[in-house]
């Protein structure tokens, strides 16, 4: 019996029950500002202080947020099957904290705990679940160069600057109007090129971006199951073989138990 191939696509709705506001939900606004207006290179150029304040608050909110039953069910599914990929639009670290390994996950919009230079390729991965580093500390720049920057980072705490080229550092996320990270796109397409999927689960997304719909339909090309979990209708609903109009943390544990009990995983 061939290993069941599973693709899971998630959006902000999967973290809503962990207390993290969605983007387009009524709780998405920050200081009465539309996230779509803040998460842009233009907003950062105009007022980097404001954008950093927003990301710092979001980082702390995420650090304080627990994983929920939806994250845990998806992690269980990931551990069950070899032919599994999670593509998340979320920049939080809750899927990782729930136990989904980096090989089985693509954060297509980046990771909020990564900080990178707005000019050169310097970047480093901060630590999610724990408070911002204070005082001096050695950080592991993701481009392999070791450097102690926290002192400068903390001292002019508001606007961190690149230790290499002194340009402004920015959160390692994809802003509106920016390109998706090519290496991550390639990972998704390599997984989908290998074959269609027996099960596609789409959780908590408005499916605003065409590539999310394309990947779901590409994965579903052999006519397997396409399960949508979302209290509301989305542009993907009409393609779904099953629409579960329930919150993710309520619906996912049962869906995953069914799949794992089928013994094809």
Among 4, 6, 7, 16, binds ligand APR (CB under 6 A): 16
Residue with tokens 């998704």: 188
3-state secondary structure of 102: helix
Strand-pair partners of 148 = 138
Phi, psi of 238 (to 5 degrees): -70, -15
Min CB(103)–ligand APR separation in Å = 22
| Whole-angstrom distance, CA of residue 200 vs CA of residue 218 | 10
Strand-pair partners of 107 = 88
Find all residues with CB under 8 Å of 7, minimum gap 6, and list them: 84, 85, 87, 191, 192, 197, 199, 200, 201, 215, 216, 219
18 binds ligand APR (CB under 6 A): no
Per CB under 6 A, the segment of 22-30, 47-55, 123-131, 257-265 that binds ligand APR is: 22-30
Asked whether the beta carbons of 248 and 17 are under 8 A apart, the reply is yes
Neighbours of 138 (CB within 10 A): 11
Asked whether the beta carbons of 101 and 167 are under 8 A apart, the reply is no
Min CB(1)–ligand APR separation in Å = 31
243 binds ligand APR (CB under 6 A): no
Rank residues 78 and 229 by Cβ distance to ligand APR and give the closer one.
229
Q: How many residues bind ligand APR (CB under 6 A)?
A: 22
Rank residues 197 and 236 by Cβ distance to ligand APR and give the closer one.
236
Residue 151: name the closest of 138, 168, 140 by CA. 138
Among 18, 22, 111, 218, binds ligand APR (CB under 6 A): 22
Catalytic one of 2, 80, 95, 109 = 109
Per CB under 6 A, the segment of 55-63, 124-132, 189-197, 227-235 that binds ligand APR is: 227-235
Min CB(110)–ligand APR separation in Å = 9
Any catalytic annotation for residue 109? Answer: yes
Q: Which of residues 78-117 bind ligand APR (CB under 6 A)?
A: 89, 109
Strand-pair partners of 226 = 200
Which residues sit at the interface with ligand APR, rule CB under 6 A?
11-13, 16-17, 22-25, 89, 109, 204-206, 208, 229-232, 234, 247-248
Which residues are tagged catalytic? 109
């Amino acid at each position: 019996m061939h290993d069941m191939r599973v693709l899971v696509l998630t959006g902000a709705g999967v973290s809503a029950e962990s207390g993290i506001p969605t983007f387009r939900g009524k709780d998405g606004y920050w200081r009465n500002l539309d996230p779509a207006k803040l998460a842009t290179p233009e907003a950062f150029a105009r007022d980097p202080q404001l954008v950093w304040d927003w990301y710092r608050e979001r980082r702390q909110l995420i650090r304080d947020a627990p994983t929920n039953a939806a994250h845990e069910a998806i992690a269980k599914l990931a551990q069950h099957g070899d032919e599994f990929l999670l593509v998340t639009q979320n920049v939080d670290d809750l899927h990782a904290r729930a136990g989904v390994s980096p090989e089985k996950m693509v954060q297509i919009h980046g990771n909020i705990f990564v900080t990178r230079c707005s000019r050169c390729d310097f970047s480093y991965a901060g630590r999610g679940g724990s408070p911002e580093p204070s005082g001096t500390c050695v950080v592991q720049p993701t481009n392999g160069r070791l450097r102690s920057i926290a002192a400068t980072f903390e001292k002019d705490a508001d606007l961190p600057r690149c230790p290499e080229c002194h340009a402004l550092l920015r959160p390692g996320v994809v802003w509106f109007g920016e390109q998706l990270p090519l290496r991550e796109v390639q990972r998704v397409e390599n997984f989908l090129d290998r074959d269609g999927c027996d099960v596609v689960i789409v959780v908590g997304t408005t499916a605003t971006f065409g590539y999310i719909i394309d990947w779901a339909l590409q994965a579903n090309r052999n006519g397997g199951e396409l399960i949508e979990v979302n209290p509301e209708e989305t542009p993907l609903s009409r393609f779904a073989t099953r629409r579960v109009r329930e919150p993710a943390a309520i619906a996912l544990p049962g869906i995953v138990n069914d799949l794992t009990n089928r013994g094809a995983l």
